Chains A and B, each alone.
Chain A
C-alpha cells in the first residue's frame, strides 16, 4: 500500500501550502513572543520548507503518527522547534491551542525540539550535529529491513561546522543511502555573524558531492521548487540527496530579514504587532 501525506490528501491545493507556511510563521511569532524566546528568525527561515514537507511531501498521517511506514523527519537544528510544533499542530498532530504552552513552566514543548509526549516528533535535538547521524542510522535500518520510507533531516548551515556531521555524510555516501535526504537551511547567517566570516562553507555543494551525495540547490522560499526537488528524490539512485535551500533568515518580516539580531531577539510590543501585521495575521489564512 502507498502511504501518502494525509494533510495533502485532505487539502490537495497548492495554495494550502502557502497558507500553511504563513500560519507556521504567525504561530512562531506568537510563540516566541509569549515565551519571550529566541530563534524566531531561524523558524521563519524554514517555514516554507516545513509547510512543503508536512503539507505535502512527507508520508505522514496525524491520525497514526507512529505508523511504521511513515517518512521520518528530524529537525537537527533543534532551536527552530517552534516551527515543527506549529507545523505538527497545524496539520493535526495535536491541538493548535497546545502551542501556547511552548516555553512555559512545566511544558513539554521545550525551546529545542523534544519528542517526549509530542506526537510526530521523531528525535529530540538541540545540540547541533546530532540529527544527521541518527537519521543515517534510521535510513540504514530502513535499507536493512527493506522498507520504503525516507528519512529527512533538516539542518542549518552553521550546524555544518560540527565535525560529527561530516562523519555521517561520509558514512551515508559510502553506504549509498539514497533514502536519506539532508536539507540545508542556507540563510548564510549563524549565531554571531555570517557563515562565510565564521568558517567558510563554500564551496558548499561541492563538499557534499565530494562525499558522494547528489546535490540540488533551490530557492528555499519557492514552494513549487521545493516540491519539485523533494518529489525527485532520490536525485541519483545509490546516493543520498542533499537539498541546499537558499533561504533568508527571518523571511516574511521585513525588519527581521537577514538580521542576525533576530537569531536571539524576541518580538515584543510594537515589534510584535508589526511582525503580525506584516504576516497578515488577522486574515483567515
Chain B
C-alpha cells in the first residue's frame, strides 16, 4: 500500500507543483526517488512531528497540498492538537499519512501499533478518514485526496486484502464496496484485515452460510446507506478492524444502524479489546493471538448465528 501511495503521489506531484511531501525523518529507501525527482516538493522535517504538522498547515494555508508521512501514531496522535486546531479548524489541505496501520509493525511493540487512530481521527471535524483494504483502494484513495483536498487521514497497512477493482469499477470516497453479496451475515471491514473477513466468509460458505462482504475504505464520511442496507438485508453484522473495538469501525457502524432505525439480527465487533498488547509478533501471529484471524472470526460469527437461530 505504501508503494502504491508513493507511486500515485509521484504521478500527481509531476502534474501539480503545489504538492509537498514532508516526512518525519522516516521512509529510508522508500522516499528516495520522490526526493530526488522533486527536490522542491520534498522536505524532511526531522524527528519533530508537531512542527511537521504545523508547518504542513502553514504551507497549506499558502496554497500547497501537503502530505505528512511517518509510521503509525507519529503523524496522528503525536501531533493530534496540531491536526485539530491548525489543520482541521483552518480546513487546511493537509493529509496525514500513516504507514503501518494496526499490527503492521507487530514486532516493534505497542508504541508502533496504530490501534486507536481511527476512533480518534474520525472524531475531528473536517477530517476524512481513509482506511484502504488493498492496493487498488490505496491508489484510488490517494487520487481522491489529491483531487478533493484535505484535511484527511490516510492509514496504510503493510499487508493487503484481495480487493482489487472489478471491471470498470470506479472508486468513490465514502462509498463502501460490496465485494461479495450474501444474506446470512454482512462483514464490514476496514484496512488490510479485510482479508481475514474474506477468509471467514469462505469458511462459512462451506457450511452453507452466505456472507455479504463490504470493503469500508472510507470510515469518514461513512456510507450509512450501505450500513443500513446491510442491517436490513442480512441476518447480522460483523465489523472487522485491526483497531480497538472502542469508537472505530464497529462504533461508527453501530451508530449508523441505530440512527437509521435498522437493527441487525446480531451485531459483533471484531477488534482489539480495551487492552494494550504487551507481546509482539508478526501481523498474522498477533491477529491469531487476539482472535482477529479468519478462523476465529468464523467461529465467533457462527456463535452469533447459532444464538439467533436457537
B59 to A: closest C-beta gap in Å:
5
Q: When A126-B85, A138-B62 are in contact, do A133 and B46 touch as well, CB less than 8 Å?
A: no
Tell me whether A134 and B58 are in contact in the complex, defined as CB-CB below 8 angstroms, given that A124-B85, A124-B89, A141-B64 are known contacts: yes
**Per a CB cutoff under 8 Å, which of A132, A142, A170 touches B48?**
A170
Q: Are A140 and B51 in contact (CB under 8 A)?
A: no
B85 touches A127 (CB 8 A): yes
B56 to A, closest residue via Cβ: A137
Q: Which residues of B contact A1 (CB under 8 A)?
A: none
Q: With A and B bound together, what is the CA distance between A167 and B79 in angstroms?
A: 12
A171 touches B55 (CB 8 A): yes
Q: Closest approach, in angstroms, between the C-beta of B193 and any C-beta of chain A? A: 34
Q: Does chain B have a CB within 8 A of A164? A: yes
- With A134-B61, A167-B50 as known contacts, state yes or no: A140 contacts B90, CB within 8 Å: no
Residue numbers in A under 8 Å from B51 (CB-CB):
133, 136, 164, 167-168, 171
B86 contact from A134, A144, A145, Cβ within 8 A: A134
Cβ of A228 under 8 Å from chain B: no
A276 at the interface (CB under 8 A from B): no
CB contacts between A and B, total, < 8 Å? 88
**Chain A residues within an 8 Å CB radius of B305:** none
Which residue of chain B lies nearest to A144 when distances are taken between CB atoms in the complex? Answer: B40
A122 to B61, CA, bound (A): 9
Q: Which of B43, B54, B81 gathers most chain A CB within 10 Å?
A: B54
Tell me if B90 and A168 are in contact (CB < 8 A): no
Q: Check A137/B54 contact, CB under 8 A, given A130-B85, A145-B62.
A: yes
| Contact residues, A109-139 vs B (CB, 8 A) | 115, 122-127, 129-130, 132-139
Interface residues on B, range: 20 to 34
Closest to A137 in B: B58
Tell me the complex Cα distance, A25–B126, Å: 36
Q: CB of B31 within 8 A of chain A?
A: no
**Complex contacts, A140 vs chain B, CB 8 Å:** 43, 55, 58-59
Interface SS majority for chain B: helix
Give a binary string over A164-183; 1 marks a CB under 8 Å from any B CB, 0 the rest.
10011011000000000000
Contact A137 B57 (CB under 8 A): yes
The binding surface of chain A is classed by DSSP as: helix
Q: Which residues of A contact B54 (CB under 8 A)?
A: 130, 132-134, 136-137, 164, 168
Chain A residue with the shortest CB-CB distance to B49: A167
In the complex, whether B95 has a CB less than 8 A from a CB of chain A is: no
Bound state CA distance, A134 and B58, in angstroms?
4
**Do the beta carbons of B57 and A171 come within 8 Å of each other?**
no
Q: How far is the CA of A28 from the CA of B61 in the complex (A)?
A: 29
A141-B62, A145-B62 known; A123+B55 contact, CB < 8 A? no
What chain B residues lie within 8 Å of A163 (beta carbons)?
50
CA distance A139 to B58 in the complex (A): 8
Least distance between A66 CB and chain B CB atoms (Å): 11
Q: How far is the CB of B75 from chain A (nearest CB, A)?
A: 14
Partner of B46, one of A130, A135, A170: A170
Q: Which residues on the B side are within 8 Å of A122 (C-beta)?
A: 61
Residues of A contacting B48 with CB < 8 Å?
167, 170-171
Contact of B82 among A133, A135, A139, A142 (CB under 8 A): A133
* Nearest CB of chain B from residue A124's CB, rounded to whole Å: 6
23 sampled A-B residue pairs with Cβ under 8 A: A123-B61, A123-B90, A124-B85, A125-B85, A130-B54, A130-B81, A130-B85, A132-B54, A133-B50, A133-B82, A134-B57, A136-B54, A136-B58, A137-B55, A137-B61, A138-B59, A140-B55, A140-B58, A141-B59, A144-B40, A164-B50, A171-B48, A171-B55
Give chain B's interface residues, CB within 8 Å of chain A.
40, 43, 45-46, 48, 50-51, 53-64, 81-82, 85-86, 89-90
Report, nearest first, the 4 A-B pairs whose CB atoms are least far apart: A137-B58, A133-B54, A141-B62, A167-B51
Besides the known contacts A134-B58, A163-B50, A164-B54, 12 further A-B residue pairs in the complex with CB atoms under 8 A apart: A124-B90, A125-B85, A130-B54, A133-B53, A134-B54, A137-B54, A140-B59, A141-B62, A144-B64, A167-B46, A171-B48, A171-B55
